[in-house]
Amino acid sequence: MRNILEVARLIRVLEDPTIERGTKVEQLKMARNNGDITPEEAIELSIEYSTMWAHDFSNDAEKMIDFIELSREEFLASYSYLTEDEYNLTKYRVLGIVAGTMD
């Protein structure tokens, strides 16, 4: 990671239950855009901390059919109550299962 102090601050923000989720997402994007963390590190942190905020829907057969058949935009429009974090968490869980890296 590029700026260890910024990363430490970011992790404190991500772990703080008193900070709302939208602020946490914005802080993560800002650290990525400022070059404090790489895009890959942003994805890793997002996945790690998304489990605190979001749940995947990989065990919902109806949603998974749509997940496979629809584009990201179409899916999120169809399931407006789901967040992009939940979509991404499901995507990475499914990719991990396919790659054999998750149970």
Same domain, 49 and 65: no
Name the more confident of 99 and 48.
48
| Close Cβ partners of 74 (under 8 Å, ≥ 6 residues apart) | none
Count of domains observed in the chain? 2
Same domain, 9 and 49: yes
Q: What is the mean pLDDT of the chain?
A: 78
pLDDT at 90: 86
Same domain, 46 and 67: no
pLDDT tens digits, 24-66: 778 888 888 888 888 777 777 776 766 555 577 888 899 999 9
Burial class (CB in 10 A: 0-12, 13-18, 19+), 21: middle
| 17: number of Cβ within 10 Å | 6
Same domain, 48 and 80: no
pLDDT at 102: 46
Tell me which residue range forms the domain holding 79: 61-99
